[in-house]
Amino acid sequence: MDTFHIHLQGIVQGVGFRPLVYQQAQNYGLRGWVNNTNDGVHIEINATGRQAQEFYRFIVANPPRLAVITNHTMARVANRDYASFTIIESGTDVRPNLPLTPDYALCDDCRNDIATTTNRRHNYAFTTCTNCGPRYSIITALPYDRPHTTMAVFAQCPDCAQEYNNPLDRRHFSQTNSCPACGIALFTDHETKTTIPQLVTSLRQGNIIAVKGIGGFLLLCDAGNRRAIDKLRQRKNRPAKPFAVMYPDLPSVKTDFCVSKTEEQWLTNEVSPIVLLKPRPVTCRLAREAIAPGLKRLGCMLPYAPLFHLLLQGFRQPVVATSGNISGSPIIYTNQQAATELAGIADRVVYHTRDIVIPQDDSVMVFSEKSQQKILLRRSRGLAPTLLKPGFTLPDNTILAVGAQMKSSFAFTNKGLLYVSQYLGDMDNYLTQTAYDHTVKHFFKVFQAHPQRIAGDLHPGYFTTQYGHDLAREYAVPFVGVQHHKAHFFAVLAENKLLARQEPVLGVIWDGTGYGEDGQIWGGEFFVYHHGRADRVAHIPYFPFILGNKMPREPRISALAIMPDSPLTAAMFTKTEHTLYTRMLLQPTLHTSSMGRLFDAVAALTLGVNKTSYEGEAAMLLETAATSWFDKYPIADTPAYAIDSRWENILVYLSQQIAADLKAKEPAGKIAARFHLFLTELIKHQARQQNSRRLAFSGGVFQNNLLVDLLQEILGGEFSLYFHQQLPANDECISFGQLAYVVHHTDEISAG
């Protein structure tokens, strides 16, 4: 017999690959071995050529459910004679070159184990197997083996060890394997053991409890108790930003919400994200207005960790589930942090003894109502960090792209693999900056690599830009600045494999703010990508940007900037404010083309949203008003606001039309709807002007699922439309776009 070596790469560790290979080797009567190494799974077998081909084809075609094979090879090697087939110790003789496996939600088999009274894991809050449980959040090194995780401190009892070493058991080589006899302990303050019934009672009493999950602590309270929710808002300093809701099971979600097949699939799969759903007309169990004031959709999820599953099975009602932190700070993930920082928010803090290495919030997504286009709002638990299909060829060298200031992430490429970190928050907060640094340094440690090139934003005041420059100096490597909106554009181009296309692509990049190449604040941009170049071909006409960060927080200021001489905007201010602000508008130091600020202006004029308490609030309320209008009236019966024939006058003409509608006392929903239709007409106008039939969209504005549906319906017949697939359209995609830009311009940058 000959000897063959098989090498599998991708998400092949922590998903039950070695047990599957072992079982199939037994079925085929093969001798040899399988192991994990720092560059994937390796298999060596004694076999005839035909046997080897059949075995190889079977393994590649039938991997474990959670595995994703990105590359596989088989080659004949020097003959070795093996007595049996074994799983051998993992190898670490090469530098790590592996995708990082994400954390997975509780599987059905483990859910059944927990529910079965005769099972030794009955009601055990940390039940896992090779098909579920934490991975990325607990790994300390590669390859993924128990000694390289925070499970290393838990010695398995004889029963668990037998499962772990039994190739026919689904917990064979399950690195998170444990049970009540040898596993993770649950306790409250002063290390007092606690029980699920005690926590259920606390929820029923209207208390807030902080519970340590997979990626950090969540704050929970009764979703039907208005007083408890108001108390949570006050303590968390979160006056209006919507909360997510966790339900005991899918049938209870369907009782309160309309759930499409696609939404159901995502709610129940191994990612188990928060999905924004449309409530049914009557949902008596929820204090809806307290949970998501003024919004049409609510974020819902199912219990993805066994601890949450047990808690919700006991409570039998939905709970508010929000990150354990003060608003604006990163999620708290250590027991020590929680003891000091959550005590003032939660009435009870629930800890466990499994450490978290890398904290993560929950992933969030929404599906547009008509086209069911997936819109990722936050990429984190269950999805981060590996990006398996980047849309371009990755270099072997190590590049770090540090991302943006808001909704930050970083991208890291190493030896031909790409990682985009989980959502890391807004970098205005020192604690968030510390968490960002912690995650970057963790990557350096795990991959035993440091960057050979660093990319970042052009804005000199961004923490991430300064951080990138500091690292570049530390490692004596080049720093490449990439304009914010070009990074957005390159991100969506790369995701849709458009970087190598010969036809021109029009990029519609709309967001709140980004430092422009002319020193102004961009945000309503049109680019054309052709022959490898991205050129800015048009933008929303500039209008004054005043008062710094106060302007995004007070939409009335944007309204004043667009309509400075109108009594409609004068009425939004005191006489002193109006005099001062109009004087500033006469000699502004900055101008902006921001579509985000235009949304703010229209929301202030139409809905009276003069001040906001969280980013994007005005735009979300405007979208809700427009959606409510279209729920009653067809698109064909709602004319869009017209575009002035002279592009430089479009904002003046728009404001005149809105003012006329307000004077005629047209419903706010109709004005909001006409504005959304106006945006589709703007895009159509520019697409025809630029003679482009391919349109790519990025920027936070395209988290608006109504706008996405309108684009699909109105422009989809004439144009090919491209949206983000694996990343959010918001600034989380910036780091990936920076990296794509640098890789695409490597020769040009090197020559420069």
Fold of 543-722: Nucleotidyltransferase; domain 5 (3.30.420)
**Domain 186-362, CATH:** 3.90.870.10
What pLDDT is attached to residue 14? 84
**Residue 412 burial by Cβ neighbours in a 10 Å radius (0-12, 13-18, 19+):** buried
Q: CATH 3.30.420.40 occupies which residues in the chain?
A: 543-722
Class of domain 377-489+734-751: alpha beta
Q: CATH 3.90.870.10 occupies which residues in the chain?
A: 186-362
* CATH architecture, domain 2-87: 2-Layer Sandwich (3.30)
**DSSP labels, 233-292:** HHHHT-SSSPPEEE-SSHHHHHHHEE--HHHHHHHHSSS--EEEEEEPS--TTS-HHHHS
DSSP 713: H
- Positions of E strands within 483-621: 505-515, 521-530, 533-539, 543-545, 590-592
**DSSP labels, 345-370:** T-SEEEEESS--SS---B-EEEE-TT
Q: CATH 3.30.70.100 occupies which residues in the chain?
A: 2-87
Chain-centroid distance of CA 230 in Å reads 27
Beta carbons of 486 and 534 less than 8 angstroms apart: yes
Q: CATH 3.30.420.360 occupies which residues in the chain?
A: 377-489+734-751
The neighbour count for residue 449, using CB atoms within 10 Å, is 18
DSSP 728: -
The closest of 398, 438, 444 to 422, measured between CA atoms, is 438
> In the structure encoding, which two tokens stand for residue 652, read together?
């003046």
What pLDDT is attached to residue 105? 97
Please give the average pLDDT of every successive group of 10 residues along the chain, which has 752 residues: 94 89 93 91 95 96 92 95 88 74 96 98 97 96 91 97 91 95 90 88 97 97 97 95 97 96 97 96 83 95 98 97 91 95 94 97 97 97 90 90 97 92 95 97 94 97 98 97 98 96 95 97 98 95 96 98 96 97 95 98 98 96 97 95 93 97 98 98 97 97 98 97 97 98 77 47
Taking the C-alpha atoms of residue 314 and residue 292, their distance in angstroms, rounded to an integer, is 25
**Residue 697 burial by Cβ neighbours in a 10 Å radius (0-12, 13-18, 19+):** buried
What pLDDT is attached to residue 335? 96
What pLDDT is attached to residue 747? 61
The closest of 285, 279, 284, 281 to 298, measured between CA atoms, is 279
> In the structure encoding, which two tokens stand for residue 247, read together?
């339900």
